[in-house]
Amino acid sequence: MADCVSRSFGERRVLSAASLRAVPGELRALLGRSGAGKSTLLKIAAGWMTPDSGIVRLNGNARLIWSPATLARLGVFYLPDTGALSTALSVGAQLAMLAERYPAGMAPAQAMERLGVERFATTRPDVLSGGEKRRAEVAAIFVRRPTVLLADEPLRGIAPIEQERILQAFRALAAEGCAVVVTGHDVSALLDAADRVTWCTSGTTYELGAPHLAKQHEAFRRDYLGATRV
């Protein structure tokens, strides 16, 4: 999706030559320390931030600047760490909007039932717990049925059982052909669920391959995993 992109914030260069691949049918974990540029890379890939250099490709089209709405219409769904649902409308109303806009996806009632949020159909997301809100957002993703899902720290601040449920849902999306990219620091859970690992460090990215190969990568172990048992 993103090829050799760079991005600076004032004097600070966050990304210098970072790339991100999103492959249909694959769940990719984008890992790296805080401040390594994972979220910036995801925002660039989703059209929410313009890179200083480099390009973003989708379906054979390459551009320096994409609008988020254009990418969304082409099949990209962006799930930021701050959430993807409005606090002004009920979960059901927002899923109905997505269903009307993208009729090829799962029916809202079915998606809510799948994620166990059907009782929150008339509830606004801001009154839900972190895990419930995340599950409602994943239900929205099933309604949209995107070709590319870019999820920024979707497991942050939620219980392990909720994390498991969300990762299962992402695995199901990948099995249906969606290209899923997930960032986060829940290393064990992400490595268990992922097909591929991309390591973001020092402004660039490294393709580490399958999780078992990533775990054997010396620099990745030394500089990121540390003594974590994964």
Residue 68 CB, shortest distance to another protein, in Å, is: 4
Q: What is the DSSP string of 68-80?
A: HHHHHHTTEEEE-
| Residues, the chain | 230
Q: Is 147 in the site for another protein (CB under 8 A)?
A: no
Q: Is 142 in the site for another protein (CB under 8 A)?
A: no
Residue 210 CB, shortest distance to another protein, in Å, is: 30
Q: Is 86 in the site for another protein (CB under 8 A)?
A: yes
Nearer to another protein, 146 or 211 (CB): 146
Helices 130-144 and 91-101 pack at an angle, to 10 degrees, of: 20
Cα separation of 21 and 42, whole Å? 11
Alpha-carbon 34 to chain mean position: 16
- Binds another protein (CB under 8 A): choice among 5, 41, 85, 189: 85
Strand pairing partners for 169?
none
Q: Is 170 in the site for another protein (CB under 8 A)?
A: no
Query: According to CB under 8 A, which residues from 23 to 62 bind another protein?
Result: 47-48
**Residue 134 in contact with residue 162, Cβ under 8 Å?**
yes
Beta strands (DSSP E) in the chain are 2-9, 12-20, 27-31, 53-58, 61-63, 76-79, 148-151, 179-183, 196-201, 204-209
Q: Is 144 in the site for another protein (CB under 8 A)?
A: yes
Query: According to CB under 8 A, which residues from 63 to 82 bind another protein?
Result: 67-70, 72-73, 77-78, 80, 82
Alpha-carbon 10 to chain mean position: 26
Phi-psi region of 114 (alpha: psi -120 to 50; beta: other; left: phi over 0): alpha
- Binds another protein (CB under 8 A): choice among 17, 49, 55, 93: 93
Annotate each residue in 96-135 with x if it binds another protein (CB under 8 A) or - if it does not, as one string: xxx-xx----------------------------------
- Binds another protein (CB under 8 A): choice among 49, 89, 121, 225: 89
Q: Is 94 in the site for another protein (CB under 8 A)?
A: yes
Residue 6 CB, shortest distance to another protein, in Å, is: 24
Residue 28 CB, shortest distance to another protein, in Å, is: 20
Cα separation of 128 and 116, whole Å? 13
51, 153, 169, 67: which is closest to 112 by C-alpha?
169
Q: Which residues bind another protein (CB under 8 A)?
A: 47-48, 67-70, 72-73, 77-78, 80, 82-89, 93-94, 96-98, 100-101, 140, 144
